[in-house]
Structure 1
């Protein structure tokens, strides 16, 4: 899907579920920006507040492109800020703080993802906002939460930090090898963002029935403990050393790469035996229990499965397994994914044209939330730094050009 494509135009007449909801986002990097981008894709109007000098720190990420004025715009920023408007305000200046407090009552959701307590020290915490806007939904996303006394409260946190602390790195680490860091990208960020989105939607519904706003407090570590639930659950049930129980859940080689297969029930094992031409496995005492599958994976099962797949492509092998009711999927690399028919059919990649002369567009994940009565797009590009400052300060606060220029000259806005 190209930037600006509308997608399912037939559904556009129904609007979007969050039409009319407004979000003021004091945000940076990924955990909160992904959440507010998702809210925007569901119809919310998202205004992003950035520091005048440099903006959101995600703009400094690499790889990067340059905007029309030659400023760097990093990959982290590009994939988390579609459709937003940008206003630059110095929150450390009392006049900047006052601008935000004047803006707050015009928005339904005020969101921030600074280190715990940082917004309160600036006079922009939940109590400060609630004093001028009691119906506000105030969203905080931080490493370890704002509303409980965590021993890690003052630690800075990026996604790999909370991923490590969730236990999943240690569970998957082999021998004396170091942990594999960030094995699935920003799981810690996106996981926190999804719980943040759920919290905001629940708080909005609660406000509909009570008229009251509230503080939604999301700790990235809490989100990761929820997403890596097998760590503590399996440990509590006696599994140790990364063991996930007696089942086939492994990668196998095909002619052009690898595929993953999961077999966890006896009926599925019988189907696997039939597909790979080894029906005798069903009556073999070695495979009478699921533990037997694991014990003989390398000496019996893998050679047979990979021998069957040797003349097939990884996707072809998975089609054959799926036809027998078995769960399998090919291990795709980036070129595979970019050309995958599912990705195209579901509009799951958005092409963002570059502004620095590079022909290859930047690819950004599309909206994974598909609603029958919601249009697929249109997607709007990420805002340039402070692109909408004058527009927002004038339309929302009534500041005239002279007042805005005075603030700009003092470095309060940009």
Structure 2
């Protein structure tokens, strides 16, 4: 999908679920920006507040492209800020703080992902904003939340909370070091999803009661929830990364690997019949699920991989799927980009580069599909401070002279 494409103009004419919802986002990096980008895709108007000069820390990530002014715009920023507007305000100055407090009542949601306590010191915490805007839905995303954690003073990025959830140690083998960030930014995007849920629930509560709320989402809480098997399996007697007796393994085909999951006896019977050994369904070696694992390497793997040797990973997966066994190919990055499902579901947005590189930047599309709601149009990420004057003029009625004075004093950028 090209940037700016509208997939269903008729649906777009009927609007989006969050049309009219306004979000003021004091955000950086990925956890909160991913959440507000999803809300923007559902119709919300999102205004970012960024630091003067440097902006959102995600702008400084690598790889990167340069904007029309030659400033670096990093990959983290490019994939989490479509459809937003950018303002630059010095939150450490009293006048900058007051600008945010003056604007807050114009917005349904104020969202922030500063380290716990940072905005309280600046006078922009929930209590400060609620004093001027009692109906605000105030979303805080932080590493360890705003109450009760002994880790509240620690900074956190996604791999930190992923590690503290127990999933790295559960998956670590032997004396090998932990495999860091094995699925990308699970800690960020998992947290973002809970943040979106909290905002939507907060808006519903506000509409019902007239009262605002503080939505407090800790990244570590989100990861304990997302990696639920760590604590649940421990409580049920499994130790050292054990997953319980089931087949959930990779097997080699002619062009690569495919994954099979079999956890029930009828599925095992269908698997072994498909690979040419229906008699194994009644074989005493495989009478229990543990038997499947005990004989995985010496019996099952040679049979499955021998059966798949003349098939591609997709062909093998389709053949198993046809008999009710869940399987799927392990795709490379290039294969995902070219995958027909990804194209059919509009799950990649092409963002043209601004630095004379032909290959557009690819950003994941909106995974939330709704009947009667158009996918798109997507608009590019904002350049740093691009909308400062526009937003302050519209929200606070500041004229060109007032804006020039604020800029000259370093309050806005």
Superposition TM-score tier, normalisation by shorter sequence = over 0.9
Q: Deviations over 1:224-269 (max 9, x none)?
A: 0000000000010001111100000000011111011000000000
1:187-198 to structure 2, matched below 5 A, reads: 187-198=186-197
**In structure 1, how many angstroms separate the alpha carbons of the residues matched to 2:283 and 2:120?**
67
Helix, strand or coil for the counterpart of 1:151? coil
Indicate whether 1:200 and 2:199 are aligned: yes
Shift of 1:31: 0.3
**In structure 2, how many angstroms separate the alpha carbons of the residues matched to 1:26 and 1:396?**
16
User: Number of matched residues?
Assistant: 413
1:305-316 to structure 2, matched below 5 A, reads: 305-316=304-315
Match of 1:401 in 2: 400
Helix, strand or coil for the counterpart of 2:163? helix
**In structure 1, how many angstroms separate the alpha carbons of the residues matched to 2:78 and 2:273?**
48
Please report the TM-score for the alignment, with normalisation by the length of structure 2. Answer: 0.99
Match of 2:132 in 1: 132
Q: Deviations over 1:348-375 (max 9, x none)?
A: 0000000000000000000000000210
Shift of 1:58: 0.2
Please report the TM-score for the alignment, with normalisation by the length of structure 1. Answer: 0.99
Shift of 1:14: 2.1
Q: Point out where structure 1 has 5 or more consecutive residues left out of the alignment.
A: none
1:164-313 to structure 2, matched below 5 A, reads: 164-313=163-312
**In structure 1, how many angstroms separate the alpha carbons of the residues matched to 2:10 and 2:272?**
46
Q: Deviations over 1:78-135 (max 9, x none)?
A: 0000000000000001000000001000000000000001111100000000000000
Shift of 1:13: 2.4
**In structure 2, how many angstroms separate the alpha carbons of the residues matched to 1:53 and 1:12?**
36
**In structure 2, how many angstroms separate the alpha carbons of the residues matched to 1:280 and 1:397?**
77
Shift of 1:280: 1.3
Helix, strand or coil for the counterpart of 2:324? coil
Shift of 1:282: 1.1
What is the alpha-carbon root mean square deviation over aligned residues?
A: 0.6
Over 2 Å off, 4+ runs = none
1:16-95 to structure 2, matched below 5 A, reads: 16-95=16-95
Shift of 1:144: 0.1
Q: Deviations over 1:22-57 (max 9, x none)?
A: 000000000000000000000000000000121000
Helix, strand or coil for the counterpart of 1:376? coil
**In structure 1, how many angstroms separate the alpha carbons of the residues matched to 2:297 and 2:68?**
56
Helix, strand or coil for the counterpart of 2:206? helix
Shift of 1:204: 0.3
Q: Deviations over 1:168-197 (max 9, x none)?
A: 000000011000000001000001000000
**In structure 2, how many angstroms separate the alpha carbons of the residues matched to 1:52 and 1:241?**
48
Indicate whether 1:116 and 2:116 are aligned: yes
Indicate whether 1:378 and 2:377 are aligned: yes
Helix, strand or coil for the counterpart of 2:199? helix
Match of 1:327 in 2: 326
Match of 1:103 in 2: 103
Match of 1:142 in 2: 142
Match of 2:387 in 1: 388
Shift of 1:292: 0.3
**In structure 2, how many angstroms separate the alpha carbons of the residues matched to 1:45 and 1:321?**
46
Q: Point out where structure 2 has 5 or more consecutive residues left out of the alignment.
A: none
**In structure 2, how many angstroms separate the alpha carbons of the residues matched to 1:294 and 1:389?**
61
**In structure 2, how many angstroms separate the alpha carbons of the residues matched to 1:373 and 1:60?**
38
Q: Deviations over 1:368-387 (max 9, x none)?
A: 00000210010000000000
